[in-house]
Amino acid sequence: MIAYHSLILLVLLHRSVCLEFTIGALLSDDEVISSFKRMVSSVRDSFYDDTVTFKAAGEALALNALKATNQVCNLFNSSEGRIFALIISHPNGAPGSAPLSVSFTCAFYHLPVIGVSARHSIFSDKYSHGSFLRTVPPFSNEASIWVDLIKAFGWREVCVIHSDDHDAKKVLSYLESASQRGIDFKITRQVAINTDEEDAAQMKDFISLLQPVRNEQTRVILLFLRRKFAEYVFLAARKLGMLEAEWAWIVTEQALDASNIPNGVIGVRLLQVTELDHVADAVRIATQSILHLVRTDYDAMKHLHSVKACSDNPSEIQSKSKLPGRSPYMWKDYATKLFRDMLAMNFTDGRTGHLEFNEYGDRIKPIYDIVNAQITNQDINNLSAQKSFEFERPTLVSVGSYGVHQPTPMEWISDEPHPSLLSINLSKLIWPGNSIVKRQQLVCIQRANDGKCQKTEKRLVHAAPISFKKKTHLKVVTIESVPFVQTHPKLSDKCNESDDPLVFKTEIECTHTDPTTGIKKHYCCYGYCIDLLRLLANRTGLELTSTPFTYDLHLVGDGQVGDVDENETHKWTGIIGEILSGTADLAVAPVSITPERAARVEFTKPFKYLGITILVKRERARSNLGSFLQPFESSLWVLVALSVHVVAFVLYLLDHFSPFGRTNSDLDMSVDGSGSYSTLRQFDNEKQLNDKNTLTLTHLRQQQQQKEDEEGMNLSSAVYFAWAVLLNSGIGEGTPHSFSARVLGMVWAGFAMIIVASYTANLAAFLVLDRPEASISGIDDVRLRNPQKDFLFATIRGSPVEMYFKRQVEFATMYRVMETNNYDSVEEAIQAIKSGTLKAFIWDSARLNYEVSIDCELITAGEVFGRNSYGLVMKKNNPWLYELSQAVLNFHERGIMETLDTKWIHIKSNNCERTESSPATLGLTNMAGVFIMIGMGLAAGAILTFVEVLCAKRRCEQKKKHELSTATMQQWRDTVQKRQNDRYFLNATDKQMQLCHNTEISFDDVIHHSVAIDKNNLNSSAIYSTNMKDKQSNNPKPNFSMNMKEKYSVIEDDLLSTKGRINRKRKASDYSCDGNDDSDDGDNDALDSSLSFALHASQNNLKQIGEKYCVTTYRCDQVNNYENNDKVELEKEQEQVGQEGYEEEEEEEEEEEFSELIHRSGTVTTHNNMNNINHYQKSNIISAV
């Protein structure tokens, strides 16, 4: 019976196995340890039929690291290999070496450790503390709260006083990264305090550390120090007056425990809970993680053993499985799984709030209190008169919280989102110096669903102090540099100033102190930068600040922008040196922004963008006497001149050999087309002439046939024609007659048009290209890239331009050459350019553009390169930096900077003819060659005229000799002919006398018969003579030569002599026939023949003279045209001859016309002869004319 019951008991015991796990603890005191043991023992759970219980093993943590390590080993020994977690804590303010030692030891054995008070960020290093997690966040996590406070208060500058440990590095890293993420604030100064030598810290050391902070303009201090060092800082700050109004302090949670914490300090601390609350959360995390692993792998957790002693090798700790086929359970693997389960725990109902961890084992989403140190036993109205730290320690009053989502406060009107986890009541805040800050600002009174403000209103609300203290009176330094700053001595009591900043080109009083002698001189400064300074100081309507600054302006002592001395001090000189030393607060001057300068001082946004360019002396156009010949090359000019004469010669040949190009062709074509003159044809057709008349006609034909053919265009006319066509001048000479020559003339005209048009266009292009240009093309010019000895170029020694060439590898050769030629000042270099000593000066484009605009002899070459800019200079962390930068940007947007450029840099000089804006014009120097060519033409014409006169004189002498011989021969012929005519006249007279005795024929019939016979002869002779006279009167140019006039006189004398004999015969006939109406037919025929021969002789001689004159002066085709026209008119007149009934007044008129006609035709008659011709005969003769 007893055996049966024993078996039943064994079965029952087998079915209800108790799984026990040990939780170790090293806590701050025994009370917490007792509470810990009760919490662990109270945790119990069951799995299947087995019970899971926990055993607590703990003791107070030793402050010594070695002892703390021994305590861990003792826990290993007492747990018999079943310890699975360790909870550690240490008293507040105690050294952190003991927890570090415990965490490092447990990490070696892979035992999970839960810290409940360890706040140092070193525990987040999983390389050394791979199994550590904590229920409290590290102190460095407060940096995120500080950033949100800075953003909420609108601070832009802060100063950080910190320790030199790992936590401080984490804080600084977070603050710097926050500013890079777009949160607009800057750490102006960092003060690191050595916290390793606590006993060696002295008050005077902290005063020396805080003195630079006191001298800065930043008024917000972030303090990250332990309690003891925070107390030293507070004492030093009190002595330096850094705990008064206008200051703001934010301290870490450790510094809140300082005994001398000043009034008005803001601090951040974890939600006020006890150590026991954190221990309770730690127990919960440990037990729940173990239970979760038991449920996951029951058999492993049932047989698994942990570290039994510190002598164990953690990599070899293993447990055998009771289940067949399973490998041993390695402690290292299951310890890692257990730690991962702990990191994954997430409790929203923890004793200390929401419990959640990151991958580093740090608690996230904790809740903080934002507290303010205030003196609670004083009346709030008397806070301004109460001195903080006078008798008692202020109380930490909660003014906000962090960690719980809050609505956006009314004071927040920015488009940027308000920190959602931050909640602070500004109305409860007291600032250092017992001050309360209120400010008029916009307040949002209506928000949209998305949180953006829709309606604002300006109200007086509580606010935070400004993060920096701005100076309202600045010491401004500048440097004399045309056109940015120019000076002249102050002659009167006041410079030409103006209160209106928009009135440009006014003056400001400035001073200059000689750095050697210390003598101070007063000047009046004006220029680009002076107008800019006046605009910045008065704001010109900018709503950036309500208080514009005032200033004192002075010129830099050494006259330099700034460079580093090469001596041992390596101090900056010039403007940069004054800014760094505090002699000047602001520099308004043409200071180039360079990396070297930007590393030491602060620059605003650029107020002037520019680059580097090259200044050279303007190259004037070199005009020579042959400038007008430049459009064509010499070879082309030679070809054109040759073409003119070749074409002229070919024209002459074509017109000479062409059958349609001769003058005789026109002369041979008579009116009726028979090839002979009308007069000769009329004589040939006249059948009443006797044999003697036929002899005379034969003589006239022989003279006509002996005329030589004359060409239509001679060589000189052809040359003149070719030049006239080429030069587009009027053609006064004859043109080609033949069709072939005219075709060539048209082709030549086309060639001339193309040549002249090309010359004109090319000349215009040469005028454009002939403008004054620079001697070099730019920075890539071969004379700069490959320097020559006779081409010097330079810049200013020690300037940013020189540094630019020094840094650029591609300009290394140029830098080596120009290094020895550089000048000390811009003025010296520009003067060297004007004098020709320096060929090219490389400098800032703004200054060189100004020099070019005022001096016509200078010009910039090439494009701008090496872009840079000018900026205002201030010391780093100057509170005016942001505001002035915004002002400069606003000036650019409003076009004010362009106005300054127009007023001071791009000046238009009225004394210069700007080739860029006006077309190129020709002067006497350009076209002097043309005038010289005209003079040469005049001289050549005079010389040729003299030669022609000599040649003509010689030719006239030869011609006179020839004419004399010809006239002698002709006189002999005329004498012979005259004798023949006399015999003929005598025979005719005798015949007429016989007619007079014939009573059947009247004298009127004789006259009528004679006139009828010679009517046509008389018409031809008179018309030809009249036409010749008209031509001479209409065209005064041609004149009879002297030999022609002599011949005419001889013929006229012969005619008068002949007519005299005829008249005498006539009178004798009249006398003998007086009273006898019937005249002999023979006498009438003789009279008729006399008159006919006289008229015929006159006509023949005049015809010869006219033909001679026509051939030499007029074109023969014109003569034929005249004859054709005269014949048509003659036929019309003959039709009207038969008309009778002329009035008596016309008879006298006809007699006068007849007399004049007979005289003009060379026929001399007496009054008696005229009276013997009746009215009808006169009318016929006049009609014939």
Say how far apart CA 242 and CA 215 lie, in whole Å.
Answer: 10
Task: Say if residue 393 carries a ligand binding annotation.
Answer: no
- Beta bridge partner(s), residue 55: 22
Backbone φ and ψ for 730, nearest 5 degrees, come out as: -65, 140
- The conformational region for residue 1162 under phi > 0 = left, psi -120 to 50 = alpha, else beta, is left
For 1073-1143, where are the alpha helices, taking DSSP H only? 1081-1113, 1116-1135
The full DSSP string for 560-574 is -S--B-SSSS--B-H
Say how far apart CA 129 and CA 86 lie, in whole Å.
Answer: 13
Residue the block writes with tokens 């010296």: 828
- The residue among 861, 864, 819 whose CA lies nearest residue 840 is 861
Both tokens of residue 711?
């060409």
* DSSP-derived pairing of the beta strands 395-402 and 422-424: antiparallel
Consecutive H or E run containing 45? strand 44-47
Task: Say if residue 844 carries a ligand binding annotation.
Answer: yes
Residue the block writes with tokens 């065209």: 1035
Question: What separation in angstroms does the CA of 996 have from each of 270, 454, 1078?
Answer: 176, 148, 7
Contact between 61 and 90 under an 8 Å Cβ cutoff? The reply is: yes
Say how far apart CA 1147 and CA 1180 lie, in whole Å.
Answer: 13
* DSSP-derived pairing of the beta strands 220-224 and 157-163: parallel
Helix (H, G, I), strand (E, B) or coil at 206: helix
Task: Say if residue 597 carries a ligand binding annotation.
Answer: yes
Cα 332 from chain centroid (whole Å): 73
Answer whether the bond into residue 483 is a cis peptide, omega within 30°: yes
Residue the block writes with tokens 């917490």: 32
DSSP assigned state of 328: P
- The residue among 872, 877, 867 whose CA lies nearest residue 846 is 867
Question: What separation in angstroms does the CA of 498 have from each of 535, 709, 888, 894?
Answer: 12, 99, 21, 21
Return the number of other C-beta atoms located less than 10 Å from residue 666's C-beta: 17
Cα 651 from chain centroid (whole Å): 58
Helix (H, G, I), strand (E, B) or coil at 896: helix
Cα 920 from chain centroid (whole Å): 23
Task: Say if residue 415 carries a ligand binding annotation.
Answer: no
With a CB cutoff of 8 Å and minimum separation 6, the contacts of 448 are 454
What is the gyration radius of the CA atoms in the chain, in angstroms?
Answer: 66
- The residue among 155, 222, 217, 157 whose CA lies nearest residue 188 is 157
With a CB cutoff of 8 Å and minimum separation 6, the contacts of 665 are 659
Contact between 347 and 298 under an 8 Å Cβ cutoff? The reply is: no
Backbone φ and ψ for 445, nearest 5 degrees, come out as: -110, -5
Contact between 1011 and 1090 under an 8 Å Cβ cutoff? The reply is: no
SS3 of the chain: helix, strand, coil, percent, to 5 = 50, 15, 35
Residue type, 722: A
With a CB cutoff of 8 Å and minimum separation 6, the contacts of 107 are 113, 128, 129, 130, 131, 132
Return the number of other C-beta atoms located less than 10 Å from residue 973's C-beta: 11
Residues in the chain: 1185
- The residue among 329, 264, 279 whose CA lies nearest residue 90 is 279
What's the first-to-final CA gap in the chain, in angstroms? 196
Q: Which residues are annotated as a binding site for L-glutamate?
A: 590, 592, 597, 844
Q: Which residues are annotated as a binding site?
A: 590, 592, 597, 844
